[in-house]
Amino acid sequence: MQLRASDLVGAYQPLAGGRTHVTCKGLDQSDLTVTGEAKLKNWLLAPTFVNSGAVVFASVRDAEASWSRQVGPAGLRCALQESRRAAARTGGTVRSIRRVPFPRLAPKTASYRVLAALGPQGPLLANQVVALQRARAQAYFSVTTLADAPMPQSELVRLARLVAGRMAKAMRGG
């Protein structure tokens, strides 16, 4: 369901990476049952960084609970807290995080934009996250760029359509 290197326009290079450990209780999903999780994929074509992931829950109920936690007010507060913690480890700061309009490409669709600075004199970065849910499955991708050179919205929508199509195919009957 997640993005593939062939989906990206340009000579993106794969990067190693893993999951970020979430310490904020509002985003904790330890009470939910995950039956499948795709290894996080990361690519870089400087100055753009892309990552993508997917997860399948044991039930629609678990998927709905996860979605509500992530996109609700408490989830947004936690995402801001976690983003600030991650940025502080590199001397950066998070300036804002907010939900932004995005076409509904799956039964549940959400998009967020995070603005962060790399250190006191560093460049301003923009990270746009697109999350989709269909039945028991959730998939997301994020694109981080220089704030003054964002990935065009049309390209973000194209990538989201690919993910949504894969999700629909994978979740037929699920």
DSSP state of 92: -
pLDDT for position 19: 58
pLDDT value at residue 73: 87
Place of tokens 């947004």: 76
CATH T-level fold of 5-18+32-170: Protein Transport Mog1p; Chain A (3.40.1000)
What ranges do the domains of the chain cover? 5-18+32-170
**pLDDT value, residue 24:** 77
**Sequence-ordered strand ranges (E) for the chain:** 13-15, 34-37, 41-45, 48-57, 93-99, 108-117, 124-134, 137-146
C-alpha dihedral (133, 163, 22, 57), degrees to nearest 10: 50
Whole-number pLDDT of residue 123: 85
Residues of the chain with pLDDT under 70: 17-23, 173-174
pLDDT digits (tens, 9 = 90+) for 146-174: 988 889 999 999 999 999 999 999 998 65
**What is this structure's pTM?**
0.91
Q: Which of 108, 98, 162 is nearest to 129 (CA)?
A: 98
